[in-house]
Structures are given as structure tokens and as C-alpha cells.
Amino acid sequence: MIRLEQVDKRYPNGHLALSGVDLVIRRGEFVFIVGPSGSGKSSLVRLLYREELPTAGEVFVDQFHVTRMRRSQVPRLRRQLGVVFQDVKLLPQRTVWHNVAFAMEVVGASSRDIAKRVPQVLELVGLGRRRDSFPHQLSGGEQQRVGIARALVNNPVYLIADEPTGNLDPDTAQDIIQLFLEINRRGATVIMATHARDLVNQVKRRVLAIDHGRIVRDELKGAYHEA
Amino acid sequence: MIRLEQVDKRYPNGHLALSGVDLVIRRGEFVFIVGPSGSGKSSLVRLLYREELPTAGEVFVDQFHVTRMRRSQVPRLRRQLGVVFQDVKLLPQRTVWHNVAFAMEVVGASSRDIAKRVPQVLELVGLGRRRDSFPHQLSGGEQQRVGIARALVNNPVYLIADEPTGNLDPDTAQDIIQLFLEINRRGATVIMATHARDLVNQVKRRVLAIDHGRIVRDELKGAYHEA
Amino acid sequence: MRPKTLWYFGRETGYGLWRNGWMTLASVSTVAISLFVLAFFIVLSVNLNHIATTLESEVEIRVFIHQKIPRQTELNLLKQAKGWPIVRKISFFTKSQAAHQLQSEFPDQKALLQLINQSNPLFDGYDVYAHHPSQIGVIARRFRRLPIVQSVVYEGLVAKRINRVTEVVRAVGWGIEALLALATLSIISNTIRLAVFARRREIGVMKLVGATDWFIRWPFVLEGTVLGLVGAAAADVAVNYGYRWAIRAAVAAMPFWPVAPLHLVLQHTIGVTVIMGLVIGGIGSLVAVRRFLHV
Amino acid sequence: MRPKTLWYFGRETGYGLWRNGWMTLASVSTVAISLFVLAFFIVLSVNLNHIATTLESEVEIRVFIHQKIPRQTELNLLKQAKGWPIVRKISFFTKSQAAHQLQSEFPDQKALLQLINQSNPLFDGYDVYAHHPSQIGVIARRFRRLPIVQSVVYEGLVAKRINRVTEVVRAVGWGIEALLALATLSIISNTIRLAVFARRREIGVMKLVGATDWFIRWPFVLEGTVLGLVGAAAADVAVNYGYRWAIRAAVAAMPFWPVAPLHLVLQHTIGVTVIMGLVIGGIGSLVAVRRFLHV
Ligand SMILES: Nc1ncnc2c1ncn2[C@@H]1O[C@H](COP(=O)(O)OP(=O)(O)OP(=O)(O)O)[C@@H](O)[C@H]1O
Ligand SMILES: Nc1ncnc2c1ncn2[C@@H]1O[C@H](COP(=O)(O)OP(=O)(O)OP(=O)(O)O)[C@@H](O)[C@H]1O
Ligand SMILES: [Mg+2]
Ligand SMILES: [Mg+2]
């Protein structure tokens, strides 16, 4: 379970990105976070994997008290999560295969498991043939899918995806959303910040709308725009 | 006028990204380039501003014979073009203002012109208040809009935008496309590689569909998908 | 650490060095060059030390024997004194040898020479060499106590001066080495910092994917260590060949000049360069990576 | 270049240095340290030269005068010889002074001393100092031609050895400086390369936005130059204070030791460091940027 209590986030330059955010996301939910550009979606998501700490309020992710945990515990938190970053964040000097495998090496998976699992997820995102390419040799959408594969590879309890389909054509985006729905059915919690109106309207799951750092709407079977 | 003649692009690793592309884009046109992820949209666009050279065929942009020009002439070509890159490409250590102003300094604009023009374009993309932020202090969509502002600031003859709305919410994306239509009305040629199906279908302009490196459709008042 | 992890770190290290080829080259060559400069001056200072020691050993005492002492007694004392541990070398000279020496020192003092040739007023005696200038006094006293010894002469001032000079030379040598070691240290650690700096984003991504600090640190530290070690090895190879050449050149140009032997030199330089390379390479990376781990 | 462009480059340079603060610091300090080491050894070699010169000047000729020549004639020659341009210094000694010297050199040769005291067999004469060892022969020949001169003595061997040693010391000094200059050169250029490497993507973006090569290069080159200059200045300040201290320490510890004066030292070091810093900083950046300009 993810819980945010009265969370404020003010960046060092004084910009208030989130204010008074109260939020509970239960295990197994599928949540869209929507809102205009610069409304605070990424800021919210970054609190969950503790890239940023809130300036006020508390954040809990399962047993982790994110706002109070020791620095040395952070890797344990992050291993519970699979994160697709808005800016992808691939390791530029490693191949597609290695980028995905790295996430497994980090958790100490065996070489055999890695050799078995990595091709599977690459196949899932349609990059089975590109395993030996380097990130700079991929198209924007291909890079994004490597990021998705990396997030999925450890079968995370929480999948946190920040604008994962921004560089994907509608058909590929559709494939990806079906993939997310599938792993959600198998028990994973999915949190997806997105601008993809069609996808949000199509799958009819919980929608959390943010504007100017405040949660302005929270509907269980919502749409991208207010009904 | 932009003209591609029998263009092939094979990357050094052997991947064939474009093959047999013949294409003419006249002054004042508004062209969408669509196609699945990895189909070759960015590869095509990169030939125009000579980030890449084709492995076969010829590329012409106005008076420039792109495939034959001397290296020292390349800056002159690029100054005719305003480019929005798929991966944004901001200068990380300069403010929003400076990132946009840089494009004007490059062409030798006077300080007065710069001081007048930069705030204008920042206002156009809705970032009038963020001029002193650094790229890493911006949201994904805000960064993308800085990239758009930079492409527009010199009133380019050709505006080449590679997936310029991937990180923008539908409303902001709508604003941007209206902006592009406006500068197109004023005489600029706009070439936009995109996955934004709604936008393409809405404005009904020329659509160029690519698949596996080949132009598979070229309609003057087209839609994202084949009719 | 499990063998699997070890293997992972080893592979990562090699990988990092390989993928950053160009940067690796710049760093290794900087390390090698600074270590070579350091080694070069260790070589110099070993040689200065060697010269100082040689100079010191030139400090001698001249012992004169009463006239009319039988040659046998004189030679007995010679034999005996050779056994004294503080005596490094002792050689006997007769009064006619002393006269010859005087003649060669004042070749144009004809009257003096005439006098010497007529009735040599000089004495038999010994040239005694000490191991160390501080022992000269002891040796002199010991000889003075013997009845057959007429007088003991030693050049106190020169000995003191030489002593002083060698002390200073040694001190300066140490000072230079310390300075250079410091310089090398900061150059190497700056280099490694710049190299790590160029990869700071990579470190950030690794952390966000769930890597522990140590998981990230180890390959960097190993990389730094390998870098330092390769640099050290390059420097040592250069010193080895360079010094062989220098010895040959020195012997040809100045046969009288005392040159420290190769093994003595290498012993010092290899020790210092390898330790510096290893330790600074490793610790430098450790410190450099730390800056970027707080993500 | 228009003033606007100049202003732009100046601003860009300052901006680059400021925004890359941490990297600028690492680079400047590396440059400063390497230049300081270089300067340090220039100081050493200037001093070695100074000692060599001093040693050479110690080379003297001893001229003996026939007995029974009137003192006035001897003093006339003294006065005359003082005017010869190849004579650096000349001093007169009487035969009793010579006897004294002999006595102090052989204090225990009592019979010898007795003889000298009874009827001094020695000569009056001059100690003559040359400007340079090569002039000794000329001076000796000139004295020998004079009728009142009985003989001319000079220690050819010692002079030759000292000459040889100073030559070698000078050569070694040059060698060391060349080596260090090379080392400094590559360290600085590596450092700048690493710094530019960390900003290669920036360069690529600038090019894609339409900047000409020179438009990108200039700020980098200026940055490199400023970096080199600041490093050189830091090194020179350190040398200045360090050497003042060293002079004081040397004078206290070894009053007899010849120390090169500060201005002589600074003259050399400032020239070399500033030129190296400027040129390598600038050229290093130029070369480093070139790698990344082909976009
Ligand atoms: N530098 C490169 N080296 C090798 N292959 C490349 C390189 N750049 C692109 N490719 C490959 O060429 C193909 C076309 O890439 P391109 O970037 O043009 O696709 P795209 O249509 O822009 O896709 P997207 O919508 O995902 O951005 C892709 O399969 C990609 O992997
Ligand atoms: N590091 C930072 N320092 C200062 N301000 C920041 C920082 N990161 C984000 N902001 C600001 O906080 C606000 C929220 O940013 P955030 O990235 O959360 O937006 P977002 O909803 O993800 O937008 P987008 O849809 O464009 O990605 C924005 O106005 C942004 O400029
Ligand atoms: Mg965002
Ligand atoms: Mg693309």
C-alpha cells in the first residue's frame, strides 16, 4: 500500500510543485495520474522511489516509511518498484541487453535467471532483435521500450511509469497498455502518469487528476477529462 | 523546396533505416510524418539538417545540396531550419532564456533583438515565467516547450519538429499545433514527425506514412491511419 | 563476497575501462606520467644519497708513526687496525711515498724538493677511512693512545662541511619527494575525479534502478586501481629502461662519478609507484564516486 | 571580430568556467600543480647552474715569482694584471704567507716546519682566478712569458673535472626540464581533454543549432587559456613564497652554499609557466574540442 499524508514539495529554487497531497493506493490497483504539463505528476511519482523527499508530510510504500528511512535502505525500497522514467535514463555505454540485465544484477539474480528472463521481457516490448544495440542506436520509441523492459524485468510489486508512451505510436502504445493491464491482473500495482487521453478513456481505471500541485479529481472508473 | 532522391540510410551497425525514399516538399507546406516506432521518421528528418548523411541518394534543401556541401557550409543550412529534436537537446548548464537566446546569438543577432524576441517566444509556448530555470528544474513537457521555443526564435523558413508533443498534455499539444499552423500560414514550411493521431486527424494536412524505412503513403489531406 | 558478485565486479571493471577507452587512455597516461616524474626524482635522490655516502666515505684520517719504528711493528698495527669494526679501510704509506705525494702537490718548489730528497723529514703512516664522519673522532682518539703513533691529523672542517652538505642533500631529496608525491597524488585524484565526473549520470541511473552504493562503488574503485596499477607499471618500465641507459651514459661521460646500481633504484621506485598507483587510484575513485552517490 | 562577438566570447568563457565550477577547480589545480613542479625544478636547475658557475670561478692559477725580485716590481705586476680582462681576481701572497699555508696544511710535519722557519725555501706569488676554466691556459701562458715569473702552477685535472661535472649538471638540468615540460604538457592537455569530454554533448547541441566551429571553439579555447593562466599564476605565487623561504633556510643552515638570487629564479619560472599555461591551455582546448566538432 502506498500512502501520502499532507505532502508538500517545494524545490530548492522556491517552486511549489505539490501541496497538501493526501493519497492512498492499495495493492493491485491501476492508477492513472493525469494533468497539464508542469502540474506535478513527475514530482509526485519521484517521491515514491525517493528520488526526491517532500518538504512536508509523510510517504509510505508498504513497510517503508520513505520520508524517514535510512539512506542505506533506499535500494531495498527501489527494488520493490519497477520505474519507467519520463526521460528514460538508460546507461549510454551498455547494450539494450545489458541495460535490462543490470536491473537484475542489482538484485543479485543468478546468471541463468538473467539469461532466461531478459530475452523474455525484450520480446514483450518488441525488441527481441535489438539486444546488442546501444541506446544511441535506437529510435526514441525503442529507447522508451527498453526503459519499460527494465522496469518489468524483476516482476515488481509496484510498476511506476512516468509518461511511458510519449514516444510510441498508438498501436505500440496499445500493446504496452495491454501489457500493463496483464501484469496488473497478475497482482502488480500499476501507477502511470500519462497524457495519453485515448488510453485513459479506453481502460476506465482509477484516474487521479493533478493541477498546480493539488489533486483535483480522484475517480475510480474515470476518464482523462472531467465527465 | 526540399527534395530527396532515392535516399537510403544504412547505419554503421548495418541497420537499414531508410530505403529508396523519394520525396518533394514545397515551400509553405505542412507535412506530418507518421509511422510505427522505429520506422525511420527521425532518420528521415535527421538527413534534412545533416546530422546524418544518407548512404545513397541525394538531399536538397533550397539552394543547399545537402549530400555534397562542404562541412563549413553546414551552419548556414542549419540556420535556415528550426529543429525540435525528439530528445529535446537543451544545454544543461544554461537557463531557459539562455538556451533560446543561444540560437539567436549563433546567427549574430543583436542584444536588443534577442532581448525583445526571446520573451516573445517563451510567452508563445507558455513559459514566460520560467526564463531563469535550468533544464533540470523543468518538467518533461516544459523542457519540450523550451525546445520548441528555440526552434521558433529565428523565424525559420523550415520548421522541423520530431515528436514535439510527446510529453505534452492534449490541451497544451493543441496550443502548440495551433502555433505551428499559424507560422505555417505566415509562410513557413512545417515538417512534423508525430504519433499524435488526434492532431493529425484534426488538421487534415499532408500525411507521409513511413514503414520499415519506406514511404508507404503520401496523402495531401490525410489522416493518421489509412482511410 | 560471493564468487558471482566478484565475477560481476571484475567484468564491470573491464567493461568500464573498455567502453570508456578514450578516457581510460587519458587517465592512464596522466597517472603514468606523474608517477614517472615521481620515480625519476626518486632515482635522483637515491643517487644523491649514493653520492653523499661516497663523499662521506672519502673522509679520512692520517696517522703518522714515530721515526725509527721498525717496519714490522708498523705492519702489525696495520693488520690489527684492519680488524677494528669502525675502520672501513686503512692503507699504509712510507715516508718516501709521502715525499712523492708532496712533490706532486708542489711540483715547482724546487728548493723544498731538494731538501726532501736530501734528508726526508717526513714520516711513515696510515690513511684511515671511517664508515661515517661521526666515527672519525673515535678512531683518532684510539690511534692517539698508541705509543708508536706520533700524531693524528684529520680535516675537521671539511668533514663537517661534507657532512652538512650530505645532510642537506638528503633533506632536500626527501622534501622533493614529498612534494612530488603530493603533486602526483592530487593530479591522479583530480584525473580520476574528472573521469568519474564524466560518468556521474550513469551513477545516478544505477542508484535509481536500485543498486546499493557498494555495488556501484566497487567497479569504479577497481577501475581506479587498475588504472593506477597500469600507470605505475608503465612508469616503472620507463624508469627501468631509462636508468639502464643513464648508467651507461654516465659511466662513459664521467667514470669517476658514483652511480647508484639499478637494483637499488628499482627497489625504491617500484615500491613507491605501485603503492601510489594502487592506493590513489582506489581511494581517488572511492572519494570521487561518493560525490555522485547521493541520489 | 566585432566587439559584440568579442563580448559574447568573453561572457561565454566566464560563464563556462563558473557553471563548471567543480570541474574548473579540478583542472586549474592540476595545471597549477604540474606547473609548480615544473617551476620547482627550474628553480633547482637555476641553482645548479649557479653552483656550477661558482665552482668554475674557484679555479685558480698559482704564479710564483723569482726570489730576490723587489716587492715594488711584484706589486706593479699585480696592479697591471688586475687590468687584464680575462683575470677575474688576483691576489698577492708573500713567501712567509705561503709558508704559513703549508704549515697549516701539514701541521704535524715538525721537521718540515723547522726547515721552513730556518730558511724559507718558498716563493712570493699570486693567486689568479679566471672567469672561465677555458681561459686558464691563456692566463698561464701570459704569466709564463714574463721574466720575473719563476713558474706557473694550475691543477689541470681538477679544473677539467669540475668543468666536466658542471657540464653534466647543466645537461641533466636541461634534460629534467625537458622531461618535466613534456610531462606537464601532457598532463595539462589530458586534463583539459577530460574536461571538454565531459561537455561533448553540449558541443554537439550547439552545432545542431547552427553554431559554426569557431563560434563554439573560441569560448573553449579562451577557457583553456584562462585555466592555464590562473594555474600558472598560482604556481608562480607558490614559487615566489617558497623560494624566499628556501633562501632564508639555506643561508641559515649552510652559509657557505651559493644560492641563486630570487629575481634570477622568478625570471625563469614565470616565463616558462605562463607560456606553458597559456599555450597548452589554449592549444589543448583547441585540440580537445576538435574531436567533438564533427557533428
Ligand atoms: N545510430 C543508429 N545506429 C543504428 N541504428 C539506428 C540508429 N539510429 C536509429 N537506428 C535504427 O533505425 C531505425 C529507425 O530509427 P528512427 O529513429 O528513424 O525511428 P523513428 O521512426 O523515429 O522511431 P520513433 O517513433 O520510435 O522515434 C530504428 O530501428 C532504429 O533502431
Ligand atoms: N528540480 C526542480 N527544481 C525546480 N522546479 C522543478 C524541479 N522539477 C520540477 N520543477 C517544477 O515543478 C513543477 C512540476 O513539475 P513536474 O515534473 O512534476 O511536472 P509534470 O506534471 O510531470 O509535467 P510534465 O507533464 O510536463 O512532465 C513544474 O512547474 C516544474 O517546472
Ligand atoms: Mg513529468
Ligand atoms: Mg524518432
Mean of pLDDT values over C54-80: 79
In the sheet with A30-34, reading across from the earlier edge strand, the strands are A81-84, A158-162, A189-193, A30-34, A206-211, A214-219
pTM over 0.95: no
Choose, out of A134, A145, A168, A195, the residue to mutate when testing the contact with B (most B CBs < 10 Å).
Answer: A195
In this structure, the strands spanning A206-211 and A189-193 are: unpaired
pLDDT score of A28: 95
Mean per-residue pLDDT, C9-18: 77
Query: A196: which residues sit within 8 A by CB, 6+ positions away?
Result: A165, A173, A177
Judge whether residue B176 has pLDDT over 70: yes
pLDDT tens-digit series, residues C274-292: 888 888 888 888 888 888 8
Atom of ligand 1 nearest to the CA of B46: 18
Nearest CA to ligand 2 atom 3: B137
The three cell numbers of residue B140 are 518533461
Residue nearest to atom 27 of ligand 2 (CA): B140
**D261, D163 contact by CB (below 8 A):** no
DSSP A130: G
Of all residues in chain A, the one with the smallest CA distance to B132 is A13
CB of A170 shorter than 6 A to ligand 1: no
Work out the mean pLDDT of chain D and round it to a whole number. Answer: 79
Residue D157 above 50 pLDDT? no
Q: Which tens digit of pLDDT belongs to each residue from A10-59?
A: 999 999 999 999 999 999 999 999 999 999 999 999 999 999 999 999 99
Asked whether the beta carbons of residue D108 and residue C151 sit closer than 8 angstroms, the reply is yes
As beta bridge partners, residue B189 has B158
Judging contacts by C-beta atoms under 8 Å, the chain B residues touching residue A11 are 137
Positions of chain A with pLDDT under 50: none
Using CA coordinates, name the residue in chain B closest to A129.
B15
Cα–Cα distance measured from residue B88 to residue C16, given in angstroms and rounded to the nearest whole number: 28
For residue B208, the model assigns a pLDDT of 96
Chains that touch A (3 or more CB pairs under 8 A): B, C
Confidence at residue D90, expressed as pLDDT on a 0 to 100 scale: 86
This model of the complex carries an ipTM of 0.83
Domain with CATH 3.30.70.3040 in chain C: 60-154
C-alpha cell at D108: 704535524
- The pLDDT, as a whole number, for residue D186 is 81
CA distance linking residue D35 with residue B88, whole number of Å: 41
- Which ranges of A59-203 would DSSP assign to H, the alpha helix? 74-80, 96-106, 111-124, 140-152, 170-185, 197-203
Q: Is the dihedral of CA D18, D19, D23, D27 positive or negative?
A: negative
The Å distance, Cα A169 to ligand 1 centre, comes to 14
Cβ–ligand 2 distance for B140 under 6 Å, the answer yes
Sheet holding C125-130, edge to edge: C87-93, C125-130, C60-65, C149-154
Q: Which three cell numbers stand for residue D270?
A: 614565470
Atom 4 of ligand 2, residue of closest alpha carbon: B137
Q: Is the pLDDT of residue D286 over 60?
A: yes
C-alpha triplet C37, D169, C33: angle, nearest 5°: 10
Residue (of D200, D192, D201) closest to D277 by Cα position:
D192
Which of B90-94, B102-106, C46-50, C74-78 shows the lowest mean pLDDT across its residues?
A: C46-50
Residue A154's pLDDT is: 96
Q: Is the CB of A13 under 6 A from ligand 2?
A: yes
Q: Considering only residues C16 and A22, tell me which one the structure prediction assigns the higher pLDDT.
A: A22
Residues B78-130: pLDDT tens digits? Answer: 999 999 999 999 999 899 999 999 999 999 899 999 999 999 999 999 999 99
DSSP-assigned states of every residue in C77-139: HHHHHHT-TTEEEEEEE-HHHHHHHHHHHSTT-HHHHHHHHHS-----EEEEEESSGGGHHHH
Collapsing DSSP to helix, strand or coil, B81 comes out as strand
Highest mean pLDDT among B136-140, C158-162, D153-157: B136-140
For the Cβ of A95 lying below 6 angstroms from any atom of ligand 2, the answer is: no
Q: Select D60-154's CATH number: 3.40.1190.20, 3.40.50.2300, 3.30.450.20, 3.30.70.3040.
A: 3.30.70.3040
User: Under DSSP, is residue B21 helix (H, G, I), strand (E, B) or coil?
Assistant: strand
Reference D193, options D33, D27, D19; nearest CA is D27
Range D172-175 contact pairs with CB under 8 angstroms and sequence separation of 24 or more: D173/D44, D173/D45, D173/D48, D173/D49, D174/D45
What is the CA(A16)–ligand 2 centre distance, in A? 9
Give the amino acid at D93: F
Residue B37 pLDDT exceeds 80: yes
Closest ligand 2 atom, residue A9 Cα: 12
The fraction of chain B above a pLDDT of 70, given in percent, is 100
- Res A146: pLDDT: 97
How does residue D175 score in pLDDT terms, banded at 50, 70 and 90? confident
The answer, yes or no, to whether residue C295 has pLDDT greater than 90, is: no
Query: Confidence class of residue C90 from pLDDT cuts 50, 70 and 90?
Result: confident
CA distance A135 to A86: 15
Which of C12, C196, C203, C209 should we substitute to test contact with A (largest number of A Cβ atoms within 10 Å)?
C209
Q: Could you tell me if A150 lies within 8 Å of chain C, comparing CB atoms?
A: yes
Q: State yes or no: pLDDT of B73 exceeds 90.
A: yes
Torsion, Cα of B102, B105, B109, B111 (10° steps): 80
Give the ligand with the smallest distance to the CA of A44.
2
pLDDT at D155 over 60: no
Identify the pLDDT of residue C157: 45
pLDDT in tens, D63-76: 888 888 888 888 88
**Does pLDDT of D239 surpass 70?**
yes
| Tens of pLDDT, residues B177-202 | 999 999 999 999 999 999 999 999 99
Find the mean pLDDT for residues B3-9. 97
When mean pLDDT is compared across B96-100, B139-143, C187-191, the lowest value belongs to C187-191
Nine-digit cell string for B79: 540556420
Task: Give the position of cell 715569482.
Answer: D65
- Asked if D46 and D261 touch (Cβ cutoff 8 Å), the reply is no
Q: A46 CB under 6 A from ligand 2?
A: no
In angstroms, rounded to a whole number, what is the distance separating the alpha carbons of residues D151 and D126?
11
Which chain D residue's Cα is nearest to C186?
D30
> Cβ contact (<8 Å) for A51 and C295?
yes
**All domains of chain A in start order, with CATH:** 2-219 (3.40.50.300)
User: D286 Cβ partners below 8 Å, 6+ apart?
Assistant: D217, D220, D221, D224
Contacts of C180 in chain D (CB under 8 A): 37
